[in-house]
Structure 1
């Protein structure tokens, strides 16, 4: 197998950075929802709305876009030597990333609902909701590192 080009390695590094940023936001935003749902006063509600908006728009969206764009280039450039499209683990990973994108959009949907009613759902719901990206992260890392042959 040929050594990866410098451009490929730079894009791979940017991809890892984008994934870390995206997951940090995916872990933190629903945690803010937990605290938002538990808050009682108007000042707290306003503070959480600002924090949630800035996290969603300023970190989550750019990190998700950077993750998906760099992933596209990694697959496009790397497929010639790594044969991603011939491996089932790759399609499972892509499916899980698709679920993560859907989860991302649900976070945005719920953010808007919380702006109207902070007690839209209980803090217990948000605690369970907060665990979904963790399960996906474990699965994706195992698929990418182990590359199980089904």
Structure 2
């Protein structure tokens, strides 16, 4: 069980590294004025999303369910309201992740995108979801 938790935490850290950094790349991409910079950002965004972000998200979800179902823990988790609230936050993070993928595709096609101010605000959203999820897991409130 401890190995599952350890690898789950590692996957979460890697996923959040991408969730924090990719929108920052979007800020710089939206501000870029020359084609060379835009091409560089396209490559960086794609590699970060596909090479680190998506595998880490999948590992986070798989290992998270592994810990929830290990050794009869599901009987406890399924009755705990904090767990379901945390699952809702994780679902929002998955939606955020896929919206980032949508943004990458639009940037790659050089389609109209929101400006750098939008992405500066957008960049902060996973912080709030992370804070909520960590507080729920640590305090296990509400029960």
Same fold (TM over 0.5): yes
TM-score by length of 1: 0.91
Q: Which residue of 2 aligns with 1:123?
A: 116
Rounded to whole Å, the distance in 2 between the matches of 1:135 and 1:59 is 21
Residues 34 and 126 of structure 1 are in contact (CA less than 8 Å); yes or no, is this contact kept in structure 2? yes
Q: Which residue of 1 aligns with 2:87?
A: 94
Q: Which residue of 2 aligns with 1:5?
A: none
Q: Which residue of 2 aligns with 1:132?
A: 125
TM-score by length of 2: 0.95
Q: Which residue of 2 aligns with 1:28?
A: 21
Worse overlay, 49-58 or 71-80:
71-80
Worse overlay, 81-90 or 11-20:
81-90
Deviation at 1:120, TM superposition (A): 1.5
Rounded to whole Å, the distance in 2 between the matches of 1:20 and 1:118 is 31
Worse overlay, 41-50 or 71-80:
71-80
Residues 27 and 120 of structure 2 are in contact (CA less than 8 Å); yes or no, is this contact kept in structure 1? yes
Q: Which residue of 2 aligns with 1:55?
A: 48
The structure having more radius of gyration, on CA atoms, is 1
Residues 79 and 85 of structure 1 are in contact (CA less than 8 Å); yes or no, is this contact kept in structure 2? no
Rounded to whole Å, the distance in 2 between the matches of 1:29 and 1:124 is 15
Residues 68 and 74 of structure 2 are in contact (CA less than 8 Å); yes or no, is this contact kept in structure 1? no
Deviation at 1:116, TM superposition (A): 2.2
- When the two chains are superposed, the root-mean-square deviation of aligned CA atoms in Å is 1.5
Rounded to whole Å, the distance in 1 between the matches of 2:94 and 2:72 is 23
Rounded to whole Å, the distance in 1 between the matches of 2:84 and 2:75 is 14
